[in-house]
Amino acid sequence: MAGAGAGSHVGGLAGFLGRRLFRAAITVTAALVLAFAGARISGNPFDYLYDDALSVEQRAELAAEFGLDRPLAVQFAAYVGEIARGNFGRSIAERRPVVEMYAEAVGPTLVLGAATVAVTLLLGLPLGIVAAVRRRSVLGAMAMTVAFVGYAVPHFVLAIVLILVFSLGLGLLPSIGQDGPLHYVLPTLTLALGLAAAVVRFTRAELLAAMEQDHIRTALAKGVSPAGVVVRHALPAAMLPVVTIVGLQVNGLINGSLIVETVFALRGVGQLFVGAVQTRDYPVLQFGVIAYALVVVAVNLMVDVCYGLLDPRIRRGG
């Protein structure tokens, strides 16, 4: 529960971070164990990769090659030992190092993620401000529409609608593949609209709350222009919850990119992971789960640190 430490009472920022780090360590350890167990409980890769076409001897040979014929306890010890040495094993399907496969796939995903965050902020912040300040204008109505539609419509439906309209209907943009920047437009829009909706809602709500505070009214009374008040006084106060929201939506973003990469056939981390899930490629699956947990935990930690830096009450230990 991020933000639960807002009323922290022991030891200021260091103690606060210490407790967070401890909890993060527990979480990552749990993910490590569950990745191993979950992969093995959910099925056997040979059944999915070779469609039951293997003879008993071939199965045994493959199992021996990947160490899957050993007792589970031995497998687990080897798994933890290898990870400690930075070795995440080879893919059963492609017989290549897992790290190499993820390294190849991370490019498109990072481009997609960066573009999404950029578009989200470029779209969400101004619309949020407009929605708070000029509620009854056309722009304000547009802002609330984005906030509403983006919030309610799921990624896979939005993706299909965008393809139907912009690829099939108008023929403006490519729907699948990753040959150029144009291929990233629809995937980025799909992910960004949902996130921008959250940003619009929170920016608007926080700005409206901030505008009622005493220091804002004082600034207005002293003759600062309304625009100046919004930019210099109200906006900084409203940023804290907005940062939290963007941070907390990162796992939603990752889950969304699993779907978006599948729909738009982007060969990114998400598609690699979904493929591994479908074929039960243990090493690829395990690395995916651990990486996912690390990213989510790291982002939550960063949100907490931002909180600490932006809110002096937490920095001082309240």
Partner 1 sequence: MATVEVPGSAPTETVRVRARAPIPWHVWLAIGVVVLLAAGALAAPWISPFDPDRTNLLRRLRPPAPLGGHPAHWLGTDQLGRDLLSRSLHALRTSVAIGLLGCIVSTLIGTAVGLAAGYLRGRVDAVLSVIVDTQIALPYLLIVLVGLAVFGTDVHVLIPLVSLAGWESTARLVRGQVMGVAAQPFVTAAEALGARPREILWRHVLPHVLPVLLVQFTLNFPGVLLLESSLSFLGIGVQPPTASLGRMIGEGRHQMLAGWWVVAVPVAVILAITLALQVIGDWLSDRLDVRRR
Q: Which residues bind partner 1 (CB under 8 A)?
A: 1, 4, 23, 26-28, 30-31, 34-35, 38, 41-43, 148-149, 151-157, 160-161, 163-164, 168, 241, 251, 254-255, 258-259, 262-263, 273-274, 277-278, 285, 288-289, 292-293, 296-297, 300
Cβ nearer to partner 1, comparing 196 with 219: 196
Cβ nearer to partner 1, comparing 122 with 164: 164
**Residue owning tokens 């608007």:** 204
Minimum distance from CB of 235 to partner 1 (Å)?
20
Exposure of 214 in the CB half-sphere (CA atoms within 13 A) = 0
Residue 270 tokens, joined: 């998400």
Minimum distance from CB of 87 to partner 1 (Å)?
22
Cβ nearer to partner 1, comparing 185 with 294: 294
Per-residue CA distances from 212 to 128, 204, 205, 229 (Å) = 17, 13, 11, 12
Cβ nearer to partner 1, comparing 211 with 229: 211
The angle subtended at Cα 86 by Cα 62 and Cα 91, nearest 5°, is 30
Q: What is the largest CA-CA distance in the chain?
A: 86
Tell me if 174 sits within 8 A of 181, measured CB to CB. no
Which is nearest to 297 in space by CA: 289, 309, 286?
289
Give the C-alpha separation, 261 to 121, whole Å: 21
Per-residue CA distances from 79 to 68, 75, 84, 229 (Å) = 11, 6, 9, 57
Minimum distance from CB of 237 to partner 1 (Å)?
16
Tell me if 28 sits within 8 A of 291, measured CB to CB. no
Cβ nearer to partner 1, comparing 110 with 164: 164
Cβ nearer to partner 1, comparing 42 with 218: 42
Minimum distance from CB of 167 to partner 1 (Å)?
8
**Residue owning tokens 């722009």:** 139
Cβ nearer to partner 1, comparing 225 with 255: 255
Minimum distance from CB of 281 to partner 1 (Å)?
13
Minimum distance from CB of 3 to partner 1 (Å)?
8
For residue 71, the tally of other CB atoms under 10 A from its CB is: 8
Minimum distance from CB of 228 to partner 1 (Å)?
29
